[in-house]
A and B are shown apart, each in its own frame.
Chain A
Amino acid sequence: MSGPLPQFGRETQQFPVVQRASIRFFRRVTRWWVGLFRDVGVRSYFVRDIARALGDPATYIPETIRQMKNIGVDSIPITLVVAAFIGGVIALQTRYQLFPGVELSIIGLASRLMVVLELGPLLTGLVLTGRVGGRMTAEIGTMRVTEQIDALETLAYDPVAFLIVPRVLAATFMLPTLVILADATGLVSAYTVSVRITDVTPQDFITGLRLGFGAFQIVYSLLKAMMFGMAISLVCSYEGYITEAGAEGVGRSTARAVVITSMTILVLDALTAGVLGPLLQT
Chain B
Amino acid sequence: MKRRNEVSVGILITVAVVVLVLGTLWLARGKLKPGYPLYTRFAWGQNLKQGQPVLLAGVSVGYVGDVNLRRNGFLDVMLRIDDQYTVPKGSTATVKPVGIFGDVAVALTPPIPPPAASYSPGDTVPPGLASADIGQIMNRVDSIGAGLSLLMRSLQQQIIEAGTLKDINRTVASTAALSLQLQKVLAEQNQNLTQTMESFRSAAGHLSNIADSVQIDATVKNLRQTSENTSRLVANLDSTNTEIRKLLALAQNGNGTIGKMLTDTTLYTDTHRLLRQLDSLVADIKANPKKYINVRIF
Contact = CB atoms under 8 A, between A and B. Distances in A.
Interface of A: 62, 65-66, 68-69, 72-73, 76, 102-103, 105-106, 109, 112, 173-174, 176-178, 180-181, 183-184, 207, 209-215, 218, 222, 282
Contacts of B254: none
A51 B289 CA distance: 182
A103 B27 contact: no
A103 B101 CA distance: 10
Contacts of A213: 27-28, 51
Q: Majority SS of interface residues in chain A?
A: helix
For chain B, the bracket of interface size reads 20 to 34
Contacts of B15: 181
B99 A103 contact: yes
Nearest to A73: B8
B24 A181 contact: no
B19 A211 contact: no
Given A65-B5, A180-B20, A282-B103, A214 B12 contact: no
B96 interface: no
Given A173-B13, A180-B23, A214-B28, 6 more contacts: A62-B2, A65-B9, A66-B2, A177-B13, A183-B23, A212-B101
A28 B49 CA distance: 57
B101 A109 contact: yes
Given A109-B101, A213-B27, A69 B8 contact: yes
Contacts of A222: 20
B293 interface: no
B16 A69 contact: no
Contact of B6 (A65, A180, A212): A65
Contacts of B121: none
Interface of B: 2, 5-6, 8-9, 12-13, 15-17, 19-20, 23-24, 27-28, 30, 49, 51, 53, 98-103
A97 B99 CA distance: 19
Given A103-B100, A213-B28, A180 B19 contact: yes
A178 B12 CA distance: 9
A158 to B, nearest CB: 21
B16 A181 contact: yes
A183 B98 CA distance: 26
9 contacts: A68-B5, A69-B5, A72-B9, A76-B12, A103-B100, A180-B16, A181-B19, A184-B23, A211-B103
B20 A218 contact: yes
A212 B23 CA distance: 15
A180 B15 CA distance: 9
Contacts of B23: 180, 183-184, 218
A207 B100 CA distance: 13
A103 B100 CA distance: 8
Contact of A69 (B9, B20, B24, B28): B9
